[in-house]
């Protein structure tokens, strides 16, 4: 009997056939109608020409690679460095945000799993969760106020004499990276916490008794256990950061352009759903390739990430 069959029999035994059927139908509906079919429709759109309504379904409505070619080549045949550069910068920024989240969330998750107990642990969890009751767009505007020319950061810095004139954190993208890092911090903390919590505390104490430094304990004992959680959190943070739209629109400086903003422009401002779909498919493919690379780097499979 396969692991999936055992899991299904165990679930039916614990919760009954009715609950199993309901969850199975709900998951099937979610996957097929809210994920697979919309993606297939978008993929179909990406290979179509942007035609007037009267020509849709006619002889001109044929499959084409024009929308993808537009991303790679300009009208004069030269390389489309603008759009390719925007995609590259978006990927680099998403990687940067993901690395910051890993650096911030790993110690928090470890402390929450093995150091904080009782009231302290509950207060940490509440402190992490409650701010996310506020809408994402409102949080983005809060970061804009925080890092604005007359915001809290500049006010404190100038009052303490750290700098004389206001620093333009918006133009420097400090506000954008800070907002994105904070926006998905829970998606990094809890997968790492879930993995680290399973670690036997005696292993850490044994390593310390044998003279291992804290750095070596984490590198040789904790990190191997935390790898699936880190990979899972990094996958979610990277995908959501690369696909973010509200935060780049609100917190991005005048010189910063997110690839999702290009997609938004094609869909809504240019009314060219076909080209917008092609750009969205390209973003999806690049993100999937990054996730596959991430799995190879961490040497984990999709099952370990799913747990």
> What gap in Å lies between CA 288 and CA 281, rounded to an integer?
10
Per-residue pLDDT, 296: 83
Whole-angstrom CA distances from 102 to 44, 110, 195, 236 are 37, 12, 14, 12
> What gap in Å lies between CA 19 and CA 238, rounded to an integer?
34
- Return the CATH architecture of domain 80-306: Orthogonal Bundle (1.10)
Please give the model's pTM, rounded to 2 decimal places. 0.86
Domain ranges of the chain: 1-39, 80-306
Per-residue pLDDT, 8: 62
Per-residue pLDDT, 3: 54
**261: nearest Cα among 83, 42, 20, 56:** 83
Mean pLDDT in consecutive groups of 10 residues from the start of the chain, 307 residues: 59 71 87 92 92 82 91 88 93 94 92 80 86 88 90 91 89 92 92 87 81 83 88 92 92 86 92 93 92 80 64
Per-residue pLDDT, 266: 94
Kindly state the DSSP code that residue 81 receives in the 8-state scheme: H
Per-residue pLDDT, 1: 47
Element (H, E) at 129: helix 118-129
Per-residue pLDDT, 6: 63
**191: nearest Cα among 292, 300, 55, 264:** 300
Q: What is the DSSP string of 259-296?
A: HHHHHHIIIIIS--HHHHHHHHHHHHHHHHHHHHHHHH
How many Cα atoms sit within 13 Å of 25 on the Cβ side?
6
Q: What is the DSSP string of 155-202?
A: HHHHHTTS-SSPP-TTTTTHHHHHHHHHHTSHHHHHHHHHHHTTS-HH
Local structure of 2: helix, strand or coil: coil
The number of beta carbons lying within 10 Å of the beta carbon of residue 54 is: 7
């Amino acid at each position: 009997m396969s692991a999936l069959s055992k899991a299904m029999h165990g679930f039916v035994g614990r919760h009954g056939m009715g609950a199993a059927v309901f969850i199975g139908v709900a998951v099937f509906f979610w996957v097929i109608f809210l994920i697979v079919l919309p993606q297939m429709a978008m993929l179909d759109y990406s290979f179509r020409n942007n035609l007037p309504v009267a020509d849709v379904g006619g002889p001109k409505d044929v499959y084409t690679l024009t929308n993808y070619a537009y991303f790679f080549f300009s009208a004069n045949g030269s390389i489309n460095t603008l759009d390719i550069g925007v995609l590259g910068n978006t990927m680099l920024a998403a990687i940067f945000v993901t690395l910051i989240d890993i650096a911030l969330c790993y110690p928090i998750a470890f402390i929450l799993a093995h150091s904080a107990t009782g009231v302290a642990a509950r207060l940490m969890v509440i402190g992490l969760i409650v701010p996310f009751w506020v809408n994402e767009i409102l949080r983005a505007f809060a970061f804009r106020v925080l890092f604005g020319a007359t915001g809290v950061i500049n006010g404190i810095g100038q009052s303490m004499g750290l700098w004389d004139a206001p620093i333009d954190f918006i133009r420097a993208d400090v506000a954008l990276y800070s907002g994105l890092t904070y926006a998905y911090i829970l998606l990094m903390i809890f997968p790492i916490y879930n993995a680290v919590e399973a670690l036997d505390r005696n292993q850490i104490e044994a390593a310390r008794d044998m003279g291992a430094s804290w750095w070596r304990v984490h590198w040789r004992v904790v990190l191997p256990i935390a790898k699936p959680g880190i990979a899972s959190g990094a996958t979610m943070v990277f995908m959501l950061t690369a696909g973010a739209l509200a935060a780049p629109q609100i917190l991005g400086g005048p010189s910063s352009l997110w690839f999702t903003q290009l997609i938004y422009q094609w869909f809504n401002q240019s009314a060219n759903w076909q080209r917008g779909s092609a750009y969205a498919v390209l973003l999806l493919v690049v993100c999937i390739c990054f996730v596959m690379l991430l799995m190879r780097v961490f040497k984990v499979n999709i099952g370990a990430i799913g747990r």
